[in-house]
Amino acid sequence: GKGGKGGGGGGTDDAPVTALLPNIPTRGSVSANEYSFYRVPVSSTNRSLTVRLTSLSGDPDLYASFSELRPTEHTAEFHSGELGDDALFLSHYDPRFCNGTREGDAGCSLHLGVGGYVVNASYSLAVSFGEESKLSLISGQPQEGSLEAHAWQYYTIALGGGDVDQIVVSLEASYGDPDVYIKACPPAPPPPPGGHAGDDACPLPSLEDSGWSGTASGGDMVRVADSTGDGWCLQCTYTIGVVAFTRSAFTITATSGGPADHPTRLLQQGVPAHGQVGVGDYVYYSVQLEPAQDVWVTLTATSGDPDMYSSFVSTAPSQEDYQFAARDPAATDELHIFHSEETYCKKDGRERTPCVLVVAVYGFEQADFSIVAVQTPEAPVQLQDGAPQQVAQQGIGEWRYFEYTV
């Protein structure tokens, strides 16, 4: 494990506590050596629960308690302090679950603390109950997951109409071999007069029953659209099932958009995201940054010739509208943007809060690629099984670090 956080940046007794709803991720940020606190209702004591903390930048840690309103490193009953993403599985058989209350007693609350380890951090936090609970995905926002062999995890994303014509589901495997199966669920008919709406009767996707699927070794990328599968509809909710062929850890992202949109996928620092881009097309990414640190963005092409254009100002940088570019066909495309740059983290001359860099990958040729961003050269880049990862040429005596999980 990692070392302790020290004394922290002040007392936590009066720190605000944010309500968290089950199955709905929430974005947050926390300063170095500080805490952010959450509370989630537990209505049943006969279902286990899972808490997942997806790191977007920095290295946040996760603390939980059924008794301490503001759990910290020193007071939590449960703790996960891994490098990068964290998760806690809390079994309802654990005598500490709901302070020992059993079915028939009143429910309880789970209290959560997210701590900033050494540097400021941003993250997504989600709690799910039971094995078949469905975690909502927010378009473009990554969600961490892990499964034992042959187990399933379910997610949903709703379109809600409009001009959306596709969803791109990306499954990045840290290790193992997860596969993805997707099924459209049409909106339920209104209840009859005087009746009640029925339960969720939409069947879950399975190996035998899905409209779209991705079963490649390692990670998968599935384009869900009318022309690529069975069951597309604009008013549908899409259920995504991830099954582990072998014990697996992964990050899943679902990004929806239409022909006039610029759907943007959020990058986790240090975690490569795989993508595809057609000739003359753009694919967009964003990364949340610390204003006082440089950023390195590396584009690794596995086929074709992609280029990078980025901006702190434009939400859709391009060949005609960008602040920083990397487009050398004969070398690794890497952007190193110094935080001393006059335009760094600024829009209209003012600091952007939060600081977000948008990166467009342009297809000079049709290309397959991976893209990764880090803010310190010492931060390890996560290697994925069988996937190459390039770096720009290093200076004498310089190091770059990588992490591989077995």
CA nearest to 152, candidates 184, 180, 127: 180
Q: Does 8 have pLDDT greater than 50?
A: no
Structure tokens at 10: 């002040």
Q: How far apart are CA 307 and CA 166, in angstroms?
A: 24
Q: Which range has the worst mean pLDDT, 64-73, 133-142, 199-208, 387-396?
A: 387-396
Instruction: Determine the pLDDT at residue 76.
Output: 95
- Among positive and negative, which fits the CA dihedral 116, 377, 283, 315? positive
At residue 144, φ and ψ (nearest 5 deg) are -75, 150
- What's the average model confidence in pLDDT over 210-233? 90
| 165-219 pLDDT per residue, tens | 889 999 988 888 999 999 999 887 766 666 555 555 678 999 999 999 999 887 8
- 115 CB-contact burial (10 Å; exposed 0-12 / middle 13-18 / buried 19+): buried
**Region label for 4, one of left (φ > 0), alpha (ψ between -120 and 50) or beta (otherwise):** beta
**What is the per-residue pLDDT for 9?**
46
Report pLDDT for 133: 85
Contact predicate 246/178, CB 8 Å: no
pLDDT digits (tens, 9 = 90+) for 104-157: 556 799 999 999 987 889 999 999 987 778 999 998 899 999 999 999 999 999
Q: Which residue spans within 197-293 are E strands per DSSP?
A: 212-214, 220-224, 237-244, 248-257, 264-266, 273-277, 282-289
Residues with Cβ within 8 Å of 52's Cβ and at least 6 positions away in sequence, in order, are 85, 86, 87, 125, 126, 127, 128, 143, 144, 145
pLDDT value for 352: 83
> Which pLDDT band, with edges at 50, 70 and 90, does 160 fall under?
low
3-class SS of residue 98 = helix
Categorize the per-residue pLDDT at 68 as very low, low, confident or very high, splitting at 50, 70 and 90.
very high
In a 13 Å sphere around the CA of 109, the CA atoms on its Cβ side amount to: 16
Contact (Cβ atoms closer than 8 angstroms) between residue 50 and residue 151: no
End-to-end CA distance of the chain: 17
CA dist 305 to 256, 263, 399, Å? 25, 22, 27
Rg (CA), the chain: 22
Decide which of 312 and 2 is more confident: 312
CA-nearest of 217, 208, 204 to 246 is 217
Q: Which residue has the tokens 């893209």?
A: 371
% pLDDT > 70, the chain: 90
Evaluate whether 368 touches 301 at the Cβ level (below 8 Å).
Answer: yes
Mean pLDDT value across residues 355-363: 95
Peptide bond into 95 cis (omega under 30): no
Q: How buried is residue 85: exposed, middle or buried, by Cβ count under 10 Å (0-12/13-18/19+)?
A: buried
Distance between CA atoms of residues 394 and 382, nearest Å: 18
- More reliable by pLDDT, 399 or 137: 137
Mean pLDDT of 84-112: 83
Q: Is pLDDT at 345 greater than 90 in this prediction?
A: yes
